[in-house]
Every structure is written in structure tokens, then in C-alpha cells.
């Protein structure tokens, strides 16, 4: 759904504030389609454009989902697909704005000294546990790959 099809015609009614930096006033983001003007003028052409953007975004998101268990930047590719959708669909713009806000909040929380100290302690404990497990494995089996161990 875009701004033209839901009657808003590019006006921002609700949504997150976008800071422009410095003392400049905050301005509302513009929701809706970012298709070129000549495409927006023709309803069939604009609908075809939306279908194309949706299919391309769906392909990128599907690739990201496939990359989640595989080595690769799965979440980054998923967010790239969402960004493709956000060029045309208000719902994707809202999801990206919410995600950006949550990531910013998490980054601010991670910079808190108490949280950093806790994360450092937990990481140290996890590394020690892994080192003990590897040492026990090497002690019992030697430097042998797990699939070549004979009982």
C-alpha cells in the first residue's frame, strides 16, 4: 500500500521524528512511494512498478533468510530487502523506522558502563568454558577430528 492508494498523498500523519542534526527543528518523514513521477502518473504502470519492487525485495529477503544458517550476512541482506520494499511501501518504511529506533536504543544501552562490564564478564566466562571443553577434548582424544575418533 502506498500514499496514493490509501488517500494520504505523501502527507505525514504519524510516525517517528527524524533528527536533522544541530539545532534544526525535527521534521516528519515523508511516507509513501518514491517512484519516479512519470511512473506515478499512470496507475497501471505504478501498479506494475510496485509488483516489480515487491518481487525484487522478496527475492532479497528470501536470500537473506537462506543466509541465516549459512555463512554470510543474513540479517544485513534481509534489511537490504526491507529497504528495497521501503522505497515503495509504507508498511516497510514503518518497520525500518521501528528497527532503526530499536537498534539505536540497544546501542545506547550497550555503551552503559554497567552493561559493558556485565557483557565482558559473561564473555570471559564463555571463553573459559570453551577453553576447558577444548582442553578436555584434546586430553582425551588428542588432535583428531571428531569424525575420525574410534572408540
Q: What is the pLDDT of residues 67-120, one digit of tens each?
A: 998 888 888 999 999 999 988 888 888 998 998 899 899 888 878 888 888 989
Mean pLDDT to the nearest integer, 12-35: 59
Task: Note whether 43 and 117 are same-domain residues.
Answer: no
Sign of CA pseudo-dihedral 39, 44, 47, 53: negative
Instruction: For residue 27, list its beta bridge partners.
Output: 18
Q: What is the pLDDT of residue 132?
A: 96
Domain limits for position 105? 1-110
Task: Note whether 19 and 40 are same-domain residues.
Answer: yes
Task: Note whether 120 and 102 are same-domain residues.
Answer: no
Radius of gyration of the chain (CA): 24
Phi/psi for 17 (5° steps) reads -80, 145
Tally of domains in the chain: 2
Helix segments in 1-151, DSSP class H: 37-41, 43-67, 74-86, 90-110, 113-141
pTM greater than 0.85 (yes/no): no
Q: What percent of the chain has pLDDT over 90?
A: 32
Q: Based on DSSP, count helices (H) and strands (E) in the chain, helices before strands.
A: 5, 0
Task: Note whether 41 and 79 are same-domain residues.
Answer: yes
Task: Note whether 101 and 134 are same-domain residues.
Answer: no
Phi/psi for 33 (5° steps) reads -70, 140
Task: Note whether 129 and 70 are same-domain residues.
Answer: no
Task: Note whether 104 and 126 are same-domain residues.
Answer: no
Task: Note whether 149 and 126 are same-domain residues.
Answer: yes
Amino acid at each position: 500500500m502506498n500514499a496514493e492508494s490509501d488517500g494520504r498523498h505523501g502527507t505525514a500523519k504519524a510516525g517517528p521524528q527524524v533528527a536533522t542534526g544541530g539545532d534544526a527543528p525535527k521534521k516528519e518523514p515523508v511516507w509513501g512511494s518514491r517512484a519516479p513521477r512519470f511512473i506515478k502518473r499512470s496507475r497501471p504502470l505504478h501498479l506494475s512498478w510496485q509488483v516489480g519492487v515487491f518481487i525484487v525485495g522478496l527475492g532479497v529477503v528470501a536470500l537473506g533468510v537462506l543466509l541465516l544458517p549459512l555463512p554470510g550476512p543474513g540479517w544485513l541482506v534481509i534489511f537490504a530487502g526491507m529497504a528495497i520494499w521501503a522505497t515503495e511501501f509504507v508498511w516497510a518504511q514503518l518497520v525500518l523506522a521501528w528497527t532503526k529506533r530499536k537498534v539505536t536504543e540497544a546501542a545506547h544501552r550497550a555503551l552503559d558502563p554497567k552493561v559493558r562490564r556485565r557483557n565482558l564478564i559473561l564473555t570471559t566466562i564463555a571463553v573459559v568454558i570453551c577453553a576447558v571443553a577444548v582442553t578436555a577434548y584434546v586430553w582425551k582424544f588428542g588432535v583428531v577430528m571428531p569424525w575420525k575418533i574410534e572408540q
